[in-house]
Copies of this chain bind each other. A is one copy, B any other.
Amino acid sequence: MAAESKPSESQPPPHPLRPLTDDELVRARDIVVEKHGGDGVVLFFRSIYVDEPKKEDLVQFLIAEHAGQAPPASFPRQVKVLFDRVKDGVPQLTEDVVDVGAGEVRRSKAFPPYCQTSYTAVEFGVFHDICVSSEMFQTAMQEFTLPEGFVVTIDPWPYGGLDSDEDVPRYMQGLVYARNAVNDNPDANHYGYPLPIIPVMDFVTKKLIRVDRLATGGKGDSLYPSTPTDKPKKLFEHGKSAEYVPELLDRPLRTDLKPIDITQPEGASFKVHSDNLVEWQKWRFRLGFTPREGAVLHDVCYDGRPVLYRLSFSEMTVPYGDPRPPFQRKQAFDFGDGGMGRAANNLKLGCDCLGAIHYLSSVVTNAEGKPDVAQNVVCLHEQDNGVGWKHTNFRTNRAVVTRLREFVIQFIATLANYEYVFAYKLDTAGGISIETRATGIVSVVPIDEGKVSDYGNVVFPGVLAQNHQHIFA
């Protein structure tokens, strides 16, 4: 995944599953600009990544590769480019497949003006700024008074479909919070202070279309919001803080946990070869990374035997168990809407991983189609997982034990309040495990202080964490 030099004529062609180099990304971008740019058109780039060959073709290549034979065919380096072609302020979502060797666009697909797409971090900022500066939102905010020094902070959320058969516009909704800015700490936790409104923006016209008000009652109360009162309602008067960054905590972190040092004095037992080929014990695979899925394991073989053609997490959805409108549309699809690869964390030794770690970075695109390095988005390491196999002969009391060694391919993504920790684990017993951990901060909405609800748990004064499930595919 790390950037490589441009292959010269004498080098073998890159493996078809090798992630993009910086050069390939730039070339693909330039070819798209050449074709679609000019005439007042602005291109807004969403993602640029390898267009994997069809399985039926690639399998033949892999069979030859495993046998050490010449491949039956070569594959052109094809790149998938997803972008908005914006003319007169109207975006048209477009997907091109570019042959960077031939310098040509092989396929181009333009989607209808109103259609869904995944969002980028840039758009989250755009959404936030349009909301807070809009008259409609400012009017809605007049219903409330925030404590001195609190500022509005909006988390973008996918909007999903309409409740009718109409064409589905490209809308985004926002969960509105206040952040205590008294200490001027940008990491003060706004999730402790949810507000009972949800703005909805049209991402084509870039205009707010309405601001939904939320019901804030408890058990037995109305499913619908109450009408506004004459004078603004004072929020968050309890004066309590719900912080998580160490410097804002009102009690110290624990200090009595003695360190556990995990080291591999002779180094790690795995090897990362060129073109992202990884070998560990009897396992080998190629490591890919896509904006949507994060880490992908291609061509997973055990002891020379192909086991999996392609292994990835493909989607995760979170339905919320709160029937009060507009929460029927609070259901994220975080791979498709947000992109786990796009949202991948930059991992750090000692925090996300212990021991002898090998990190891999990825090349992603910014809105202009230029390459950015996504530093350390995947970590590879070995770990001990206890007794793998044991037998004691009860007649002689002689025990034979083997440990279970695991090879872990881990990445972590942040989607607003949530963190997901994904791991593929290959082990010395020939097993593959996949693990997901959901962490971060629960998604919350306001509830009148002192009330309880059937639709979630009160986790802080006036804060309801709604019932929900994380369903991974």
Contacts of A254 in B (CB 8 A): 281, 428
Query: Is A414 an interface position by the 8 A CB rule?
Result: yes
Tell me the residues in window 251-273 of chain A with beta carbons closer than 8 Å to chain B beta carbons. Answer: 254, 256-269
A269 touches B281 (CB 8 A): no
Stoichiometry (number of copies):
2
A386 touches B421 (CB 8 A): yes
Most buried by B among A266, A348, A394, A405: A394
Question: A260-B262, A346-B397 in contact; A439/B352 too (CB < 8 A)?
Answer: no
Residue of B nearest to A418 (CB): B391
- How does the 8 Å CB contact mask read for A353-364 relative to B, with 1 for contact and 0 for none? 011000000000
Partner of A386 from B124, B428, B437 at Cβ < 8 Å:
B437
Contacts of A121 in B (CB 8 A): 394
**Complex Cα–Cα for A400 and B124 (A):** 22
Contacts of A267 in B (CB 8 A): 258
Query: Is A59 an interface position by the 8 A CB rule?
Result: no
Partner of A387 from B355, B393, B412, B428 at Cβ < 8 Å:
B412
**Complex Cα–Cα for A382 and B262 (A):** 12
Tell me the residues in window 371-427 of chain A with beta carbons closer than 8 Å to chain B beta carbons. Answer: 382-384, 386-401, 403, 405, 412, 414, 416-417, 419, 421, 423
Partner of A124 from B348, B352, B394 at Cβ < 8 Å:
B394
Query: Is A351 an interface position by the 8 A CB rule?
Result: yes
B264 touches A355 (CB 8 A): no
**Complex Cα–Cα for A392 and B124 (A):** 15
B395 touches A437 (CB 8 A): no
Contacts of A346 in B (CB 8 A): 397
In this complex, the interface size class of chain A, counting residues with CB under 8 Å from chain B, is 35 or more
Contacts of A259 in B (CB 8 A): 264-266
Query: Is A431 an interface position by the 8 A CB rule?
Result: no
**Complex Cα–Cα for A399 and B439 (A):** 12
- How does the 8 Å CB contact mask read for A182-197 relative to B, with 1 for contact and 0 for none? 0000110000000000
B262 touches A384 (CB 8 A): yes
B265 touches A391 (CB 8 A): no
B386 touches A414 (CB 8 A): no
Query: Is A441 an interface position by the 8 A CB rule?
Result: yes
Residue of B nearest to A261 (CB): B263
Contacts of A1 in B (CB 8 A): none
Partner of A260 from B264, B391, B392, B393 at Cβ < 8 Å:
B264
Contacts of A352 in B (CB 8 A): 387, 390, 401
A258 touches B269 (CB 8 A): yes
State how many angstroms separate the Cβ of A207 from the closest Cβ of chain B.
23
- How does the 8 Å CB contact mask read for A327-357 relative to B, with 1 for contact and 0 for none? 0000000000000000101101001101100
- Known A186-B396, A245-B400, A390-B421; further 17 A-B contacts with Cβ < 8 A: A124-B394, A186-B398, A257-B405, A257-B428, A260-B384, A261-B262, A261-B263, A261-B265, A343-B394, A352-B387, A352-B390, A387-B421, A388-B439, A389-B440, A390-B439, A390-B440, A391-B414
